[in-house]
């Protein structure tokens, strides 16, 4: 069924897609946004760990819509939910925690700064921080970001202060400020995509404790359905939810004609457009281009040189944890430990760089202090086993009582670079399909030695920071990876042999196809990348407006 013709079709409604629709529709263009998942409203967002976090409210079950994952090209990829950010109007911005750190100028020039790096396909961005900085400023104004400038000596250059005051914090933040300052560190308020004053029909944060992994029932979180899509729709954008885009057809010249999708009722639909913008997440954007095969592009759209899906990045994540007990803390902090304020709201970037050592090539990262997630099942599960032994009965009750009443778990998350490697990529799984019969995205994970080395060094700094907070606290280190912060699979660059798009986001060799989500980011930045995706999407939209 034909759905007419538009100036622009945008595939995806999250951080990469919504800024494009917002910009172009307000400039007078006709825009169709195609979103795979459902559309939620504020009343749908319940504080229910089972429905929101353990079912398919945000992330699909692997049986319905799998990715597959393997650790080496020779291994068999297994179905997984890893790599899914979200599947709803607004994408991951709906349930994000909203830690909005800017990339640093050095993040745009890793190859230039470390030319001796081997085993990685990392390349400099085709432009520098200066070009993106006005768009960071625009994101903070347009979507609503709260924070405080002037306390972080590693803060990137900026034109203006945050438009909203920083979120209120727990009293423990004051202890962190005091103790870390004593050892020469510089804790600063974490910038958040949360409004702290009313704006339109959005209420300020009401500090409900359940932010990350949940939607916001008052509109305080700066998701794209709250901050960008309403204005886009008022200007004429059409948002089609439940639209599984499976093909971007091309004409004989290799220009994209529009998009084909399966709607929520299973009907085949198609619309034509002058331009198509792909913004479905780094993994799903690469998957769509690889599925869009034709006589002109037999290996996938824009994939003549085998660059679609290559140079994949995630974000290296390490954690330190300390269980703080009232009696271990100095006064008055022990008495204030059970204050219900949900945000610690402190970070440090003093370890943004290291002296090169061993496999760690000199890049550091960011340490973010926060309370462990308050989901009760999530908090209780680690208590059920002790070195493989099942814990039950009175012993389990004592453990649960101590965990929930004896103190509070403070975490430090460490974000650092994930270097792209020759083997790390996304392609189409030759055996596994989704519920529509379409090939699943296959993720091949390959870690550069520096990733783990840098994580270990950050973990040591995190543990040293935690040790300053009380009398002999019990500190544990939890290593890990995050599959949510992803990029690189359609990265920007100057050379078509090493990139998928040019500096403007236009796909090499396909003059009316653009990529505006995390797939376009050449590096992971050592911080959560959502704000950078938004900023670059606004930038791509400005280039497209002039095309």
- What was the pLDDT predicted at 358? 87
- Are the CB atoms for 195 and 222 separated by under 8 Å? yes
Q: Where do runs of H (alpha helix) occur along 368-437?
A: 376-380, 393-405
Beta strand 365-371 pairing with 346-348: antiparallel
- Tracing tokens 């997984």 back to the chain, one arrives at 80
Phi, psi of 320 (to 5 degrees): -115, 140
Contact at 8 Å (CB) between 528 and 93? no
Q: What is the pLDDT of residue 480?
A: 64
Q: Which run of H or E residues covers position 302?
A: none
Dihedral angle over CA of 293, 547, 277, 486, nearest 10: 100
Q: At what angle do helices 18-26 and 530-545 cross, to 10 degrees?
A: 30
What's residue 317's pLDDT? 85
Distance separating alpha carbons of residues 242 and 98, to the nearest angstrom: 25
Residue 26 tokens, joined: 């307000």
Q: Residue 383 half-sphere exposure, CB side, CA atoms within 13 Å?
A: 18
Residue 473 has what pLDDT? 66
Q: What residues contact 386, with CB distance under 8 A and at least 6 apart? A: none
Residue-by-residue pLDDT tens, the chain, 547 positions = 678 999 999 999 999 999 999 999 999 999 999 999 999 999 999 999 999 999 999 999 999 999 999 999 999 999 998 999 999 999 999 999 999 999 999 999 999 999 999 999 999 999 999 999 999 999 999 999 999 999 999 999 999 999 999 999 999 999 999 999 999 999 999 999 999 999 999 999 999 999 999 999 999 999 999 999 999 999 999 999 999 999 999 999 999 999 999 999 999 999 999 999 999 999 999 999 999 999 999 999 999 999 999 999 998 888 888 999 999 999 999 999 999 999 999 999 999 999 989 888 999 999 999 999 999 999 999 999 998 899 999 999 999 999 999 999 999 999 999 999 999 999 999 999 999 999 999 999 999 999 989 988 998 999 899 999 977 666 676 666 778 899 999 999 999 999 999 999 999 999 999 999 999 999 999 899 999 999 999 999 999 999 8
Write out the E strands in 234-336: 238-240, 244-247, 258-262, 268-278, 313-324
Burial tier of 183 (Cβ tally within 10 Å: 0-12, 13-18, 19+): exposed
Q: Which residues share a beta bridge with 269? A: 261
Describe the crossing of helices 129-139 and 530-545 by its angle, rounded to 10 degrees: 100
> What per-residue confidence (pLDDT) applies to 475?
66
- The answer to whether 283 and 66 are in contact (CB under 8 A) is no
pLDDT at 154: 96
C-alpha closest to that of 320 among 222, 462, 192 = 462
What does pTM read for this prediction? 0.97
Cα distances (Å, whole numbers) of residue 114 to 48, 356, 363, 499: 47, 10, 10, 20
CA distance 359 to 269: 51
Q: How far apart are the first and last CA of the chain?
A: 29
- Taken in order 162, 165, 169, 174, the sign of the CA dihedral is positive
Q: Distance (Å, rounded) from C-alpha 207 to C-alpha 155?
A: 27
Residue with tokens 């008055």: 332
Beta bridge partners of 276: 9, 513
């Amino acid at each position: 069924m034909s759905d007419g013709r538009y100036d622009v079709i945008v595939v995806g409604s999250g951080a990469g897609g919504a800024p494009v629709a917002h910009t172009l529709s307000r400039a007078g263009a006709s825009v169709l946004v195609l979103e795979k998942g459902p559309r939620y409203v504020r009343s749908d967002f319940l504080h229910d760990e089972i429905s929101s976090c353990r079912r398919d409210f945000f992330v699909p079950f692997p049986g319905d819509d799998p990715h597959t994952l393997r650790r080496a090209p020779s291994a068999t990829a297994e179905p997984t939910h890893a790599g899914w950010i979200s599947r709803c109007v607004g994408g991951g911005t709906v349930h994000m925690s909203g830690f909005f750190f800017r990339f640093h100028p050095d993040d745009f020039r890793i190859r230039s700064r470390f030319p001796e790096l081997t085993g990685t396909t990392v390349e400099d961005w085709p432009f520098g921080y200066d070009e993106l900085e006005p768009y960071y400023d625009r994101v903070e104004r347009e979507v609503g970001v709260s924070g405080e400038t002037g306390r972080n000596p590693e803060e990137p250059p900026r034109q203006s202060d945050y438009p909203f005051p920083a979120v209120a914090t727990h009293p423990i933040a004051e202890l962190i400020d005091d103790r870390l300052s004593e050892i020469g560190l510089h804790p600063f308020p974490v910038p958040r995509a949360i409004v702290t004053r009313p704006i339109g029909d959005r209420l300020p944060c009401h500090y409900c404790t359940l932010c990350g992994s949940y939607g916001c029932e008052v509109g305080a979180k700066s998701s794209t359905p709250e901050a960008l899509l309403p204005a886009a729709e008022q200007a004429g954008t059409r948002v089609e939810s439940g639209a599984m885009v499976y093909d971007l057809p091309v004409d004989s010249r290799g220009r994209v004609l529009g998009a084909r999708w399966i709607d929520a009722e299973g009907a085949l639909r198609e619309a034509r457009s002058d331009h198509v913008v792909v913004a479905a997440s780094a993994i799903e954007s690469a998957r769509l281009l690889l599925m869009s095969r034709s006589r002109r592009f037999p290996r996938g759209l824009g994939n003549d040189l085998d660059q679609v899906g290559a140079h994949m990045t995630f974000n290296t994540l390490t954690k330190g944890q300390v269980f703080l007990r009232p009696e271990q803390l100095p006064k008055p902090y022990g008495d204030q430990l059970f204050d219900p304020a949900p945000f610690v709201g402190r970070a440090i970037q003093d370890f943004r760089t290291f002296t090169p050592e061993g496999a760690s090539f000199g890049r550091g990262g960011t340490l973010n202090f926060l309370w462990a997630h308050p989901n009760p099942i999530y908090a209780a599960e680690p208590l059920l086993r002790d070195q493989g032994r099942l814990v039950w009965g009175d012993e389990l009750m004592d453990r649960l009582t101590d965990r929930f009443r004896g103190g509070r778990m403070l975490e430090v998350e460490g974000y650092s670079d994930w270097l792209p490697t020759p083997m790390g990529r996304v392609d189409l799984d030759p055996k596994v399909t989704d519920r529509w019969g379409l090939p699943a995205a296959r993720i091949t994970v390959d870690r550069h030695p520096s990733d783990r080395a840098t994580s270990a060094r950050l973990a040591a700094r995190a543990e040293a920071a935690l040790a300053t907070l009380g009398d002999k606290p019990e500190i544990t280190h939890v290593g890990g990876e995050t599959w949510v912060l992803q990029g690189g699979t359609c990265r920007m660059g100057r050379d078509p042999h090493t990139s998928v798009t040019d500096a403007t986001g236009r796909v090499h060799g396909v003059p009316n196809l653009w990529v505006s989500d995390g797939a376009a980011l050449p590096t992971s930045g050592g911080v959560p990348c959502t704000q950078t995706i938004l900023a670059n999407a606004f930038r791509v939209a400005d280039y497209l407006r002039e095309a």
